[in-house]
C-alpha cells in the first residue's frame, strides 16, 4: 500500500508540475554515456517540510521510517512524457498549444456546420491530421528511445541491505529507497545520492570520478562522515542508530547541507565532501557503504536533467508576426467576399433562381447569407495560413544541424571531439550576432598553466632557464603531444588496470579476505568507464610543457641552504636561521599543500602514515634522535579513536580541538614553543632586475635529494606520481614545487606528506581546508607544522584580495617594517608579471596559537552544522581566520593563447561584431592578452574606467565620452544620449577606442542611474574589457546589453563561472576545455576551440539565416499566390465560396506538390562559398541588419504573389472566355500554370542549383501530373455534380493548354527575373559581388590550369622535335628562344593573376562597406 501511495504521490506531482515548459532555462544533462536519457525530467519537487529527515530502513525504526523516509519517492526514474494510455490525449494536448494548430482545428469544426460548409468534411481534416500525425510519430519515437534507456537504468543491479535477511542482497536500482544502506565496489556507478559511512581506504577516503556529471575526468576525494572513519570493521546497519537531517532536494551539485545526529543527540556536520552523487563512479576504492538520502527524481543528477534547450529565435518571432499579418489579410479577403455576396444577392433578391427559400418558405436575408459566406470563405482560403510552415522549419533546422555537426573543420583531433548542437531551433540566430561576450582563461587561452616566474621575500626570480625550455617547446610541442598520445594509447592495456583496478587492502583489515571486497563489478561500470579513464587521467594538466619546470639557479642555491641543522633552533639550542630561508621554505610548502590535488602512485599501495615522518630524515645529530623519540611518544598517545570519547591530551588547549575538528581524526600533538627568532634585515637595494641581482651564500650545504626513506618502504619517485588537480593552476604550482624538490607525496583527509629535499618526508597534520570560491577568491589550509608544532594557515589567492588581508604595521617593529618592504617589492613584481600577461597569485601564511584556533573552530563548527544560511556563516568564519597574514611571495603563471584566436577575433571584428572580454584576472593581464589576441590594436586609444565611488564613476564616464566626441568631431545630434539605448554606428574616427573597466567600478556602472551612460560609452568603443568580474557581474552585463540595446548577444566560456553568462545570452557557446563540462551542459552549442567560432558564425550562421529567411518568405509567397486564385474566382461566381479546383487537388497542392522543394532549398542553399565567407567577413553584416527578411521584403514578396496570381488567373480566363468548358476544365490550367510558376520562382531565387534541387523540382512536377492523370482516370463521381474525370487526359492532347501554361509562366515570372538581372548587373549587393568574385577567380584558375596544360604539351612536343632534329642532323629554328618566350608568358600570366586576386580580395571589403550602411 505504501508503494502505491508513493507512486500516486509522485505521478500526481509530475502531472501538476511536469507538463510546464521550462523554456529558456532548460538544459540537457547526461550523467554518463549509458545513462544519457536526454529527456526532460520532472521539475524540482516541492517537499512538505523545509528540511528532510532520513531514517534508516531498519526493523527497529519501522514506525519512524514509515513516517519520514517511507513518504519519499523511490529510485525509479522516468524521463518519458507518455504512456500507452495517455500518449494520444497528451500529445494532442501539447500540440494544440500551438496557435496555428488551434486555428486549423477551428476550421475543421467549422466545416462540419452545414450552413458554412465549403469542402467535404474529410478533406478539411486531412492537412491537420497529416501534420499532427507526423509530429506525433516523431515524439513517439523519441519517447520510446527514452523508455528503453530508462528501463535499462532502472534494472541495473546494486547491493542493498535487507532488514529481513540481515545481509546485502542484489537489488534493482528502481527498488532503492531513501534510508537504504548500499554497498558499492570499485568501478560501480552510484545508484542514488547517499552519505558515505564507510570506506575500505585506511583514511576513510573514497575516490570518485564525476565525468558523468561535470565532464571532469580527474579523480575527486570524498570522505567518510567524521566519527565513522575510526571503525575497525565495516559499518553494521543493525547497529546504526543515528538519523540524518539535511536540506530539501535541490539541483545544486556543489552544495550539501545537513547533520548526522547520534542517539546521544551529538551532531556531526555534513557537507558535499560526505555526499556521493548518483551517476558518479567509484574509483581506486575496494568498497564503500552509504545511506541513501535522495532517490530517483529527487537526486541532484536528475534535478539537473532536462531536455535540449528550446528557444524562440529572432527569425521565428518575426515569422509569427507576419503570420498575424496573413490572418489580417485573410480577414480582409473574407470580409470582401461576405460583402460582395450580400451585394450580389441584393441585386437579385426577387429572382428565386439565385435566392432559394427554405423548405418552410422563409427567405434568408442577404445580410445573414453574407455572414454565412464569411465563414465559408475562411474555410476556403485557409491555405493562406501556412500550416506546413512550422513542420518545414523544424525539418530544415534538423537538416542544418546535421550539416553543422558533419563539418570536418570543427573536428579536434587532440580531444577527439567535434561541435555539439544542443539547441535545436536557433541555428539562424548564429547569423545575426552583434555582441560577443567572451571569457579569457580556457576560452581565448589554452588553459595550460605554465610556471614562469615567482617572487619570494621581495626577490624576483625570472627563471631564464625555464624560459629557454618553453621557447624550445614552441616549435615541438605539438609533436611531443602527439608522441605522448601515441605512447599512452599503445600502453593503454597496461595503464588501465592500474588506473581502475581495486587496491589490495591490508590483511585482516576487515577480518575477511580482500577478494570478497572486490565483488563482481557492475557491467555498466566495467563497460562505461574502463575504456577511457586511464587515457583521460594521464592527459589532465600533465603535458610536458606544464610538468617539466627548470628551476632558477639563484633560487636553487638559496634553497640548498635549507638543512636539518638549520631547524635545531626549535629546541632553543641553535641560533636563528636567515629569514629569507624561512620565507622560501614556507613559500614552497604552501605551493605543495595549499590545494586539493589528489596524489596517486602507480603500483604503490597507499598506507596510512603516522604524524611523525622524521624517520626518513638523515640523522646527523643527537638532537634529532631526541626529537624522533618525542614524536614517537606523541604518536603512541594519539592512538585511541575519536569515537571512544577518551582524550589523551585532556587538560591542554588541544582537547576541544581534537574532539570537534572537522577534518582531523587523530589527536592533535601538543604545541611547542613559538618560534622566537627574528628576521635578519632585508637588503634595501632594489632587486627588480633579477638577472643582475646577486646575494651572498650563507651556507655551502648541498641538496640531499632522494636520500630519505619512508618508514613503510621507499616512497615512489616524484616522476612517477600522478597528480589529479581540479584546476590547471593548482597542478602548475605543485609541479613548480616539485622542481625544487618539495614534492607532494600523498594526501589524506587528516595529513599531507611532502618530501622536502634534505629535510626528508614532512607530514603536516591537516586540520582544516577552506576551499576556493568566487566570493573570497582564495583558499586556505590549516595545518600543524611537523617541525614547529604550531598551527599554521597557508593561504593563496588573487593579489587584490590577499594584499588587503595582510597585517598592518602599527607598532613599527622591525619584522613589520620588513614585511612592508616585501609587500612593496612584491607589488612591483606583480605589476610586471601582469604586464607580461601572466596570471598572478599571492601566497601568505599565518601562525595561530592552539587557543586561537580552538576558539575559531568552535564557531566554525556551529556554522558547519547549520542548515539555514550555512554559506553566509561559513564565509564569515573564513573571514575571521584569513586576516593579519604574512606575505610570502607571488607566482606568475602563463596561459598561452589558443591556436587561431587572433585571426578569429580579427575576422569577427571585420564582421561588425563587438567583442567584450569578461574575465576575473587583473587589469594588466587582461589588457596584455587583449593586445596579444588582437582584441586591441597598438594604435587604439585605451581608456581605463577605475573609480572608487558611484559619483566618481559617473564623472569619469562623462569625461571619457567628451574626449571621444572631440576626437570624432561628430554632430551634437549623434552624440546626445538616446532613448532606448540604440546601438551607435562605428564612429568615423581616425583610430579605434577600447575601454577597460574593473570589477568594483563595474558594480557602480551596472546601477540603474548609470546604465544609460555606461552603454553610451561602450557604444563608442570597439572592444570592452571587464576585469575582476564575478560570475554574477558577467551575467548582469550580458543581460544589460541584450535587454536595453535590443541586440543579438552571444556568450562563450569554458568553466562553471561562465554558466550564468551563457544562460542569459541569446546564444550560449560552451568550450569543452580543461575545466570540465559545466559550461557545455549549459550551452546551446559546444565547440572545442575558440577558432571554430569564426566558422560557426561567419559560414554556418550566415548560411542558416539566409536559407531559413528565404524559405519562410517563399512559403508566404506560394500560399498567397495560390490562395488568390480562389479569391479572384469569387468575383465571377457571386462570392459564393465555390472552388474551380477539386478539393483533393487543392489540399495536395500545398501539402505534397510544393512542400519538398523549399525544404531542400532551406537545407542545401549556398549563396556564397565557405572560403569566400571566411575571406570576406564583412559579408556577415547583412545578417546583422536582417537584410534577407526585412518588413519591406515581406510586403514586396506579397505584392509579387498578388501580381503572379492575377496573371495566372486572367491569362487562362481570357483564353477560354466564351467557351463551353466546365468549372474543373477551367481550373486545371490554373493549377498547372501555378505549379510551374511557383517552382520556377524558386529556381530564380536559388543561388546554387545542384542535382538534388533539380531532382526534387522535376519529381514534384511529375508527381503532380501522375496524380492528376490517375485521379482523372479513377475518380468518376468523386465530387458530383462536377467531377475531374478525364480532364488532364484531354488537356494533354490540347495544344492550347501547353500554350496557356507557357505564356502564363513567362508573363508571371518576367518582372521577378528582370529585377534579379538588373540587380546583379547594375546594383549588386555585397553578397552578389562576392559570388561574382568567387566565380571569376575559379574561372581564372581553371583557365590557368588549361594554359599550363597546353604549355606542357607544347614543351613536350618541342623537346621531341628537337630530339628528332638532332638525330636527323637538321638545325631547329631557335626552339630554345620560343620555349623561353612561352615560359615568360606563363610567368607573366601567373603574376598578373595573383595580383588580380590580391587586389580583388583586399578591395572587396572596402567596396562592401561603401555600398551599404555601416554596422557597429
Q: Which residues, listed in sequence order, are joined to residue 287 by a DSSP beta bridge?
A: 185
Query: Torsion angle of alpha carbons 370, 374, 379, 384, nearest 10°?
Result: 140
> C-alpha distances in angstroms, 1387 versus 2, 45, 748, 1081?
90, 76, 73, 55
Pair 1068, 421: CB distance under 8 Å: no
| φ and ψ at residue 538, rounded to 5 degrees | -65, -30
| H-run or E-run covering 194 | strand 193-199
Among the residues of 937-1058, which ranges form H helices? 950-968, 972-975, 999-1005, 1008-1019, 1031-1045
**CA–CA distance, 284 with 767 (Å, rounded to integer):** 24
Q: Which residues, listed in sequence order, are joined to residue 650 by a DSSP beta bridge?
A: none
Closest CA to 212 of 302, 284, 279, 283: 279
The catalytic position among 193, 439, 586, 1142 is 439
CB-based contacts of 1053: which residues, under 8 Å, 6+ apart? 438, 439, 442, 443, 1059, 1061, 1062, 1069, 1070, 1071, 1079
What single-letter DSSP state applies at residue 190?
P
Pair 448, 898: CB distance under 8 Å: no
Pair 801, 776: CB distance under 8 Å: yes
**CA–CA distance, 398 with 59 (Å, rounded to integer):** 55
**CA–CA distance, 395 with 855 (Å, rounded to integer):** 66
Pair 792, 846: CB distance under 8 Å: yes
Q: Which residues, listed in sequence order, are joined to residue 52 by a DSSP beta bridge?
A: 246
Query: Could you please report the per-residue DSSP string of 420-472?
Result: EE-BSS-GGGGGS--EEEE-STTTTEEEEEEEEEEEETTEEE--HHHHHHHHH
Q: Which residues, listed in sequence order, are joined to residue 1085 by a DSSP beta bridge?
A: 421, 1069
| φ and ψ at residue 768, rounded to 5 degrees | -160, 150
| φ and ψ at residue 743, rounded to 5 degrees | -100, 125
**CA–CA distance, 1330 with 1325 (Å, rounded to integer):** 9
Pair 724, 542: CB distance under 8 Å: no
Q: Biggest alpha carbon distance in the chain?
A: 134
What single-letter DSSP state applies at residue 251?
-
> C-alpha distances in angstroms, 1144 versus 118, 126, 925, 1153, 1208?
13, 10, 70, 12, 20
CB-based contacts of 1199: which residues, under 8 Å, 6+ apart? none
> C-alpha distances in angstroms, 1383 versus 555, 593, 998, 1356, 1378?
65, 71, 63, 13, 9
Pairs from 379-382 (Cβ < 8 Å, separation ≥ 24): 379/107, 379/110, 379/111, 379/116, 379/117, 379/118, 379/119, 379/124, 379/1137, 380/118, 380/119, 380/1126, 380/1137, 380/1139, 381/330, 381/333, 381/334, 381/1123, 381/1126, 381/1127, 382/104, 382/107
Cβ atoms within 10 A of the Cβ of 607, count? Answer: 13
Q: Rg for the chain (alpha carbons), in Å?
A: 39
Pair 1122, 1145: CB distance under 8 Å: no
What single-letter DSSP state applies at residue 24?
G
Q: Is 170 a catalytic residue?
A: no
Pair 876, 866: CB distance under 8 Å: no
Positions marked catalytic: 439
Amino acid at each position: 500500500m505504501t508503494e502505491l501511495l508513493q507512486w500516486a504521490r509522485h505521478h500526481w506531482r509530475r502531472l501538476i508540475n511536469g507538463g510546464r515548459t521550462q523554456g529558456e532555462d532548460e538544459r540537457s544533462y547526461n550523467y554518463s554515456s549509458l545513462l544519457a536519457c536526454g529527456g526532460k525530467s520532472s521539475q524540482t519537487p516541492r517537499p512538505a517540510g523545509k528540511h528532510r529527515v532520513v531514517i534508516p530502513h531498519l526493523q527497529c525504526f519501522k514506525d519512524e521510517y514509515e513516517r519520514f523516509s517511507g513518504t519519499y519517492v523511490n529510485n525509479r526514474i522516468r524521463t518519458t512524457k507518455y504512456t500507452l494510455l495517455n500518449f494520444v490525449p497528451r500529445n494532442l494536448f501539447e500540440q494544440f498549444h500551438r496557435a496555428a494548430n488551434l486555428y486549423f482545428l477551428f476550421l475543421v469544426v467549422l466545416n462540419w456546420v452545414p450552413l458554412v460548409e465549403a469542402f467535404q468534411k474529410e478533406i478539411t481534416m486531412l492537412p491537420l491530421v497529416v501534420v499532427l500525425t507526423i509530429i506525433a510519430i516523431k515524439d513517439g519515437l523519441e519517447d520510446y528511445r527514452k523508455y528503453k534507456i530508462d528501463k535499462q537504468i532502472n534494472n541495473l543491479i546494486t547491493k542493498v541491505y535487507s532488514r529481513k535477511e540481515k545481509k546485502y542482497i542484489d537489488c534493482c536500482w528502481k527498488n532503492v529507497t531513501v534510508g537504504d544502506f548500499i554497498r558499492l565496489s570499485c568501478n560501480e556507478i552510484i545508484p542514488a545520492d547517499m552519505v558515505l559511512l564507510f570506506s575500505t581506504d585506511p583514511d576513510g577516503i573514497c575516490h570518485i570520478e564525476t565525468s558523468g556529471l561535470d565532464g571532469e575526468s580527474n579523480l575527486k576525494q570524498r570522505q567518510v562522515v567524521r566519527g565513522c572513519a575510526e571503525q575497525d570493521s565495516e559499518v553494521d546497519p543493525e547497529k546504526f542508530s543515528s538519523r540524518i537531517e539535511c536540506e530539501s532536494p535541490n539541483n545544486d551539485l556543489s552544495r550539501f547541507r545537513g547533520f548526522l545526529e547520534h542517539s546521544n543527540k551529538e551532531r556531526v556536520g555534513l557537507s558535499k565532501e560526505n555526499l556521493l552523487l548518483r551517476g558518479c563512479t567509484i574509483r581506486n576504492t575496494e568498497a564503500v557503504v552509504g545511506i541513501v538520502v535522495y532517490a530517483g527524481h529527487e537526486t541532484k543528477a536528475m534535478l539537473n536533467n532536462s531536455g535540449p534547450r528550446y528557444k524562440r529565435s529572432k527569425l521565428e518571432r518575426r515569422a509569427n508576426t507576419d503570420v498575424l499579418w496573413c490572418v489580417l489579410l485573410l480577414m480582409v479577403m473574407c470580409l470582401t467576399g461576405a460583402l460582395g455576396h450580400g451585394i450580389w444577392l441584393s441585386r437579385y433578391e426577387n429572382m428565386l433562381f439565385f435566392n432559394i427559400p427554405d423548405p418552410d418558405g422563409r427567405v434568408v436575408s442577404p445580410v445573414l447569407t453574407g455572414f454565412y459566406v464569411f465563414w465559408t470563405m475562411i474555410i476556403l482560403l485557409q491555405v493562406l495560413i501556412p500550416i506546413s510552415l512550422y513542420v518545414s522549419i523544424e525539418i530544415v533546422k534538423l537538416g542544418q544541424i546535421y550539416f553543422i555537426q558533419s563539418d570536418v573543420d570543427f573536428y579536434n583531433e587532440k580531444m577527439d571531439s567535434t561541435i555539439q548542437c544542443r539547441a535545436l531551433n536557433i541555428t539562424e540566430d548564429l547569423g545575426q550576432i552583434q555582441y560577443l561576450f567572451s571569457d579569457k582563461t580556457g576560452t581565448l587561452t589554452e588553459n595550460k598553466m605554465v610556471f614562469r616566474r615567482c617572487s619570494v621575500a621581495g626577490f624576483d626570480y625570472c627563471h631564464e632557464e625555464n624560459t629557454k625550455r618553453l621557447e624550445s617547446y614552441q616549435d615541438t610541442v605539438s609533436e611531443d603531444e602527439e608522441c605522448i598520445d601515441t605512447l599512452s594509447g599503445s600502453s593503454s592495456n597496461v595503464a588501465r588496470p592500474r588506473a581502475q583496478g581495486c587496491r589490495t587492502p591490508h590483511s585482516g583489515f576487515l577480518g575477511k579476505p580482500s577478494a570478497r571486497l572486490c565483488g563482481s563489478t557492475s557491467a555498466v561500470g566495467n563497460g562505461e568507464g574502463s575504456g577511457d579513464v586511464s587515457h583521460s587521467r594521464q592527459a589532465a594538466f600533465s603535458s610536458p610543457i606544464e610538468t617539466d619546470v627548470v628551476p632558477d639557479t639563484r633560487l636553487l642555491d638559496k634553497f640548498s641552504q635549507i638543512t636539518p641543522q638549520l631547524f635545531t633552533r626549535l629546541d632553543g639550542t641553535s641560533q636563528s636561521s636567515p629569514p629569507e630561508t624561512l620565507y622560501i621554505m614556507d613559500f614552497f610548502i604552501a605551493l605543495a599543500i595549499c590545494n586539493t590535488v589528489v596524489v596517486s602512485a602507480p603500483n604503490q599501495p597507499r598506507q596510512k602514515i603516522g604524524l611523525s615522518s622524521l624517520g626518513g630524515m638523515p640523522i646527523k645529530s643527537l638532537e634529532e634522535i631526541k626529537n624522533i623519540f618525542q614524536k614517537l611518544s606523541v604518536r603512541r598517545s594519539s592512538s585511541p579513536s575519536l569515537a571512544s570519547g577518551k582524550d589523551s591530551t585532556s587538560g591542554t588547549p588541544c582537547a576541544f580541538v581534537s574532539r570537534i575538528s572537522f577534518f582531523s581524526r587523530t589527536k592533535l600533538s601538543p604545541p611547542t614553543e613559538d618560534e622566537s627568532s627574528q628576521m635578519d634585515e632585508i637588503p634595501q637595494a632594489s632587486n627588480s632586475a633579477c638577472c643582475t641581482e646577486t646575494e651572498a651564500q650563507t651556507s655551502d650545504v648541498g641538496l640531499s635529494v632522494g636520500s630519505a626513506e619512508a618508514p613503510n618502504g621507499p616512497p615512489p619517485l616524484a616522476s612517477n606520481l600522478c597528480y589529479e588537480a581540479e584546476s590547471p593552476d593548482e597542478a602548475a604550482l605543485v609541479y613548480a614545487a616539485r622542481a625544487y624538490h618539495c614534492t607532494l607525496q600523498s594526501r589524506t583527509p587528516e595529513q599531507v606528506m611532502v618530501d622536502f629535499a634534505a629535510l626528508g618526508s614532512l607530514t603536516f597534520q591537516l586540520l582544516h581546508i577552506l576551499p576556493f570560491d568566487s566570493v573570497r577568491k582564495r583558499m586556505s589550509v590549516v595545518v600543524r607544522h611537523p617541525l614547529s608544532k604550531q598551527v599554521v594557515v597557508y593561504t593563496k589567492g588573487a593579489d587584490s584580495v590577499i594584499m588587503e588581508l595582510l597585517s598592518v604595521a602599527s607598532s613599527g617593529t622591525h619584522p613589520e617594517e620588513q614585511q612592508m618592504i616585501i609587500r612593496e617589492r612584491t607589488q612591483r613584481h606583480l605589476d610586471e608579471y601582469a604586464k607580461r600577461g601572466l596570471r598572478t597569485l599571492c601566497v601568505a601564511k599565518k601562525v595561530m596559537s592552539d587557543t586561537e584556533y580552538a576558539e575559531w573552530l568552535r564557531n566554525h563548527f556551529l556554522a558547519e552544522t547549520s542548515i539555514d544560511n550555512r554559506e553566509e556563516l561559513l564565509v564569515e568564519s573564513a573571514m575571521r581566520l584569513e586576516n593579519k597574514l604574512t606575505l610570502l611571495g607571488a607566482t606568475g603563471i602563463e596561459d598561452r593563447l589558443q591556436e587561431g584566436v587572433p585571426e578569429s577575433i580579427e575576422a569577427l571584428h571585420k564582421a561588425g561584431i563587438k567583442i567584450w572580454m569578461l574575465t576575473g584576472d587583473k587589469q594588466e593581464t587582461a589588457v596584455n592578452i587583449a593586445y596579444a589576441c588582437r582584441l586591441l590594436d597598438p594604435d587604439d586609444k585605451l581608456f581605463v574606467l577605475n573609480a572608487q565611488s558611484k559619483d566618481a564613476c559617473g564623472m569619469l564616464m562623462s569625461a571619457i565620452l567628451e574626449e571621444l566626441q572631440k576626437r570624432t568631431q561628430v554632430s551634437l545630434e549623434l552624440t546626445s544620449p538616446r532613448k532606448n539605448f540604440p546601438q551607435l554606428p562605428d564612429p568615423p574616427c581616425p583610430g579605434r577606442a577600447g575601454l577597460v573597466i574593473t570589477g568594483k567600478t563595474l558594480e557602480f556602472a551596472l546601477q540603474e542611474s548609470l546604465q544609460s551612460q555606461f552603454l553610451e560609452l561602450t557604444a563608442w568603443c570597439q572592444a570592452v574589457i571587464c576585469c575582476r568580474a564575478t560570475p554574477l557581474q558577467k551575467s548582469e552585463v550580458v543581460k544589460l546589453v541584450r535587454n536595453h540595446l535590443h541586440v543579438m548577444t552571444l556568450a562563450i566560456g569554458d568553466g562553471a563561472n561562465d554558466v550564468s553568462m551563457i544562460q542569459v545570452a541569446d546564444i550560449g557557446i560552451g568550450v569543452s576545455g580543461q575545466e570540465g563540462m559545466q559550461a557545455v551542459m549549459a550551452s546551446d552549442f559546444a565547440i572545442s576551440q575558440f577558432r571554430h567560432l569564426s566558422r560557426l558564425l561567419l559560414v554556418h550562421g550566415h548560411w542558416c539565416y539566409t536559407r531559413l529567411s528565404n524559405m519562410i518568405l517563399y512559403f508566404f509567397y506560394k500560399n498567397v499566390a495560390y490562395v488568390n486564385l480562389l479569391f479572384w474566382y469569387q468575383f465571377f461566381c457571386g462570392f459564393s465560396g465555390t472552388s474551380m479546383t477539386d478539393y483533393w487537388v487543392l489540399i495536395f497542392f500545398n501539402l505534397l506538390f510544393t512542400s519538398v522543394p523549399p525544404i531542400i532549398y532551406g537545407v542545401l542553399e549556398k549563396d556564397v562559398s565557405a572560403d569566400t565567407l571566411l575571406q570576406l567577413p564583412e559579408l556577415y553584416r547583412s545578417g546583422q541588419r536582417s537584410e534577407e527578411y526585412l518588413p519591406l521584403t515581406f510586403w514586396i514578396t506579397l505584392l509579387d504573389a498578388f501580381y503572379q496570381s492575377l496573371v495566372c488567373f486572367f491569362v487562362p480566363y481570357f483564353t477560354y472566355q466564351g467557351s463551353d468548358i466546365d468549372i474543373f476544365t477551367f481550373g486545371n490550367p490554373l493549377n498547372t500554370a501555378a505549379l510551374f510558376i511557383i517552382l520556377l520562382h524558386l529556381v530564380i531565387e536559388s543561388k546554387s542549383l545542384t542535382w538534388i534541387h533539380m531532382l526534387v523540382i522535376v519529381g514534384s512536377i511529375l508527381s503532380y501530373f501522375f496524380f492528376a492523370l490517375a485521379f482523372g482516370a479513377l475518380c468518376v463521381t468523386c465530387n458530383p455534380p462536377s467531377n475531374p474525370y478525364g480532364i488532364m487526359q484531354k488537356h494533354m492532347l490540347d495544344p492550347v493548354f501547353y500554350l496557356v501554361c507557357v505564356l502564363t509562366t513567362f508573363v508571371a515570372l518576367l518582372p521577378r527575373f528582370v529585377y534579379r538581372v538588373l540587380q546583379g548587373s547594375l546594383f549588386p549587393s555585397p553578397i552578389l559581388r562576392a559570388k561574382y568574385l568567387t566565380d571569376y577567380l575559379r574561372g581564372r584558375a581553371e583557365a590557368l590550369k588549361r594554359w599550363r596544360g597546353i604549355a606542357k604539351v607544347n614543351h613536350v612536343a618541342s623537346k621531341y622535335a628537337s630530339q628528332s632534329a638532332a638525330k636527323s642532323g637538321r638545325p631547329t629554328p631557335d626552339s630554345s628562344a620560343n620555349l623561353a618566350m612561352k615560359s615568360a608568358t606563363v610567368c607573366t600570366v601567373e603574376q598578373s593573376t595573383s595580383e588580380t586576386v590580391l587586389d580583388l580580395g583586399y578591395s572587396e571589403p572596402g567596396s562592401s562597406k561603401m555600398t551599404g550602411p555601416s554596422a557597429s
